[in-house]
């Protein structure tokens, strides 16, 4: 087939149908066996799609199993407190996903008779449901004709159509959406959407795409013109800033002081050890003592340096110096955190912490009451 024909073909109804059939046939044979594909339960599908945003399947799998085990139904999720939900999400990142999902479950239980809306526009009114989650859940669980556009789908579309718009530029999204809508199989949108995503995940990968076994290579403009490596185009990501943080494990009578972050924003609702960014020309121990005082009102003294950890978030990275501290004086006056607790080390697993904290928590040693 020559390139000119291929371009022409994907504008013709019959050839779009051929593309759909070939893709879906491949998917039916090659799809991965995944627990959320076992049935069309919208609750399971919704959980999986929320977890899979920005996260790989292999990372999601154990979280999915634990979550469904702990909250088998939407009602069980709605009944739970947010702290328990965040604990189940601990380490998965992007905690706004868990907070919104929990909020949505409460709304559905209270206001919608416990039934997940079988309507794209109603469903999209729920917290955390944007175009992607809306299209994925509504097409897969209910068969509604909305095309999904995630990173995998964009990569396939960019190559099939040689789309020059950068795939990672927000303003390109509608452009990709138009192509996705045009290709969507409206008779079985759920299967087609999953097939597109699976093609991007298994064959049309970022590196070394398997074009020779691709079911839609005959329609792929990049493949036919030997330009696969040029797509998708991307704008250069900005350099992420790096911050130096100091945090203190403050001990009093054998207990440790932990504080809870406010519910909104980064890592919202999680627990942590008090601390914060170093000021210009400030050293880590001074910043640690200052931050503990500013956030909690407590005066503490540094006993020893526990460790230094490094952690990368999506938009910045941190170096965190962690200190063992001794409580000296002062009642708790919170400024920033919304809650605090003095806990025994053995109880630490009951609370959800950010991943950066999880890196040093195993290094914290139990101290006898009479020691500190």
Q: Mind telling me the catalytic residues?
A: 49
Q: Which residues of 131-149 are buried (b: 16+ CB within 10 A; e: fewer)?
A: bbbbbbbbbbbbebbbbbb
Q: Which is nearer to ligand SF4, 109 or 193 (CB)?
A: 193
Considering the complex, state which of residue 15 and residue 76 has its C-beta at the smaller distance from ligand SF4: 15
Q: Return the number of the residue (180 or 306) whose C-beta is nearest ligand SF4.
A: 180
Write each residue from 257 to 276 as x if it is in contact with ligand SF4 (CB under 6 A), else as -, in one continuous string.
--------------------
Q: At its nearest, how many Å lie between ligand SF4 and the CB of residue 153?
A: 11
Instruction: Mark 214-253 with x for binding to ligand SF4 (rule: CB under 6 A) and - for no binding.
Output: x-xx--x-xx----x-------------------------
Instruction: Rank residues 102 and 221 by Cβ distance to ligand SF4 and give the closer one.
Output: 221
Judged by beta carbon, residue 51 or residue 160, the one nearer ligand SF4 is 160
**Minimum distance from CB of 235 to ligand SF4 (Å)?**
21
The pattern of x and - marking residues 149 through 168 that bind ligand SF4 according to CB under 6 A reads -------x--xx--------
Q: Which stretch binds ligand SF4 (CB under 6 A): 52-60, 204-212, 239-247, 356-364?
A: 204-212
Decide if residue 3 touches ligand SF4 (CB under 6 A): no
Shortest distance (Å) from residue 224 CB to ligand SF4? 8
Q: Which of 45, 74, 201, 203 binds ligand SF4 (CB under 6 A)?
A: 203
* Beta carbon of residue 202, minimum distance to ligand SF4 (angstroms, whole number): 9
Q: For residue 125, what are its two tokens?
A: 């009114």
CB of 221 to ligand SF4, least distance (A): 8
Residue 247 and residue 290 in contact, taking contact as beta carbons nearer than 8 Å: no
Binding piece for ligand SF4, criterion CB under 6 A, among 2-10, 54-62, 206-214, 336-344:
206-214
Query: Which among 12-20, 138-146, 202-210, 277-285 is the span making contact with ligand SF4, rule CB under 6 A?
Result: 202-210
Name the residues that contact ligand SF4, by CB under 6 A: 156, 159-160, 203-204, 209-211, 214, 216-217, 220, 222-223, 228
């Amino acid at each position: 087939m020559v390139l000119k024909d291929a371009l022409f073909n994907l504008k013709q109804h019959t050839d779009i149908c051929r593309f759909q059939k070939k893709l879906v046939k491949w998917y039916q044979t090659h799809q991965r066996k995944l627990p959320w594909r076992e049935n069309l339960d919208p609750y399971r599908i919704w959980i999986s799609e929320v977890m899979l945003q920005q996260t790989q399947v292999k990372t999601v799998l154990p979280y999915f199993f634990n979550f469904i085990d702990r909250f088998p139904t939407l009602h069980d999720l709605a009944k739970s407190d947010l702290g328990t939900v965040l604990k189940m999400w601990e380490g998965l990142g992007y905690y706004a996903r868990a907070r919104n999902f929990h909020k949505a479950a409460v709304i559905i239980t209270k206001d919608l008779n416990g039934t997940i809306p079988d309507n794209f526009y109603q469903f999209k009114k729920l917290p955390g449901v944007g175009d992607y989650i809306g299209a994925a859940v509504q097409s897969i669980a209910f068969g509604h004709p909305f095309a999904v556009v995630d990173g995998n789908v964009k990569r396939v579309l960019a190559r099939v159509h040689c789309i020059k718009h950068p795939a990672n530029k927000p303003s390109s999204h509608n452009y990709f959406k138009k192509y996705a809508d045009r290709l969507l199989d409206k008779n079985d949108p759920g299967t087609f959407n999953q097939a597109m995503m699976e093609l991007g995940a298994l064959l049309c990968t970022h590196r070394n795409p398997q074009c020779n076994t691709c079911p839609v290579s005959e329609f792929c403009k990049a493949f036919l013109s030997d330009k696969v490596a040029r797509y998708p185009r991307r704008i250069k990501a900005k350099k992420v800033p790096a911050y130096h943080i100091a945090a203190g494990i403050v001990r009093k009578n054998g207990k440790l002081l932990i504080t809870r972050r406010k519910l909104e924003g980064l890592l919202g609702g999680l627990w942590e050890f008090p601390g914060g960014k170093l000021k210009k020309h400030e050293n880590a121990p001074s910043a640690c003592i200052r931050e503990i005082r500013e956030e909690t009102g407590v005066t503490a003294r540094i006993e020893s340096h526990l460790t230094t950890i490094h952690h990368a978030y999506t938009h910045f990275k941190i170096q965190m110096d962690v200190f063992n501290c001794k409580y000296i004086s002062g009642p708790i006056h919170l400024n920033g955190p919304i809650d605090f607790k003095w806990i025994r080390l053995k109880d630490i697993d009951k609370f959800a912490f950010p991943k950066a904290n999880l890196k040093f928590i195993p290094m914290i040693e139990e101290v006898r009451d009479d020691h500190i």
